[in-house]
Structure 1
């Protein structure tokens, strides 16, 4: 990616003690081999696991500044995520990571709908310091967002301007963007 930056992926799973190779992990490996986009993958099954994983990234990984995208693959609804049958609002997530995501793009796979009001999106961005938050208005039914996610990540590798990234994404993948209802708040 630009300046050797990376993707940090955190996937919500039913049980972290049961190892499975998910579709997400396979596709991140593909990104690394085919497009030279490096990533770190972790799974979590609780909010504490989410906080611990992001905390370790923030405080223990000296390359954190190089992570441009925080990729969250978690079930949930419009403005919350679900881990271990508990729902956490994006406002709660924002407060957990207050000021810690400066300049990052927080991207959600379509395992959850991302449907934020302008105020909710601005609150998340202001509290976390994130550059943008993106995801989809259509939930994972029979079509996973992983292929559009990969294209989005490639564009983030090639381009720096968010508007240009979204325009290019729609230009090259219009039908899929419309079907999954790609959204980016910045």
Structure 2
């Protein structure tokens, strides 16, 4: 058994000053109760807020090394997230966090379609230092939290992300293929 791998969840919202009801929070509570996974949830409404949230995690949180997964819940499409009515490409996001995500898994909820080619995925991984990037390529009318939780739970048991994905497909093949689960490493 490997040490716990914490999750840092960032969700894009229209306005952080307004109380938001998030569909992600019950899923994160389930992760804590069912799998014992420690997680932090934050919202942001601008690229500056995204950068500030990750900088706080990187430079002020003493447990940063324990956060193996950055769970990003942002609206978007075609490998672009929407923040403050502006589209940001994954290449732009990679440049914001150049070298700061070493060894981390970046996972996108299915609120943004992730369908990278080999060159784009390798660029993101090389620039950020991330271990892997994952998400969903197909639009479906349900939130990906069921599959996300299974993925995160398996990652607590296995250290090798390839093993995690193979087991995820074994256990949830129909859901993985319907949603277009993708892993780039």
- Tell me the TM-score normalized by structure 2: 0.97
- DSSP-derived class of the 1:82 partner: strand
In structure 1, C-alpha distance between the alignment counterparts of 2:103 and 2:144, rounded to whole Å:
23
Distance 1:51 1:179, change over 3 A: same
- Are positions 1:151 and 2:184 aligned together? no
CA-to-aligned-CA distance 1:92-116 (integer Å, 9 cap, x gap) = 1101111100000000000010011
- Are positions 1:52 and 2:52 aligned together? yes
Structure 1's consecutive aligned runs of 4 or more residues displaced over 2 angstroms after TM superposition are: none
Which residue is 2:176 aligned to? 177
8 A contact 2:132–2:184 mirrored in 1: yes
- Count the aligned residue pairs: 185
Which residue is 2:82 aligned to? 82
In structure 1, C-alpha distance between the alignment counterparts of 2:8 and 2:57, rounded to whole Å:
9
1:21 deviates by 3.3
- Tell me the TM-score normalized by structure 1: 0.96
Moved more, 76-85 or 147-156: 76-85
CA RMSD in angstroms, aligned pairs only: 1.1
In structure 1, C-alpha distance between the alignment counterparts of 2:26 and 2:123, rounded to whole Å:
33
- DSSP-derived class of the 1:62 partner: coil
8 A contact 2:45–2:84 mirrored in 1: yes
CA-to-aligned-CA distance 1:11-46 (integer Å, 9 cap, x gap) = 011111112231111110111112100100000111
Moved more, 16-25 or 129-138: 16-25
Structural mapping, 1:111-150, within 5 Å: 111-139=111-139, 141-150=140-149
Q: Any unmatched runs of 5+ in structure 2? A: none
Q: Any unmatched runs of 5+ in structure 1? A: none
Which residue is 2:7 aligned to? 7
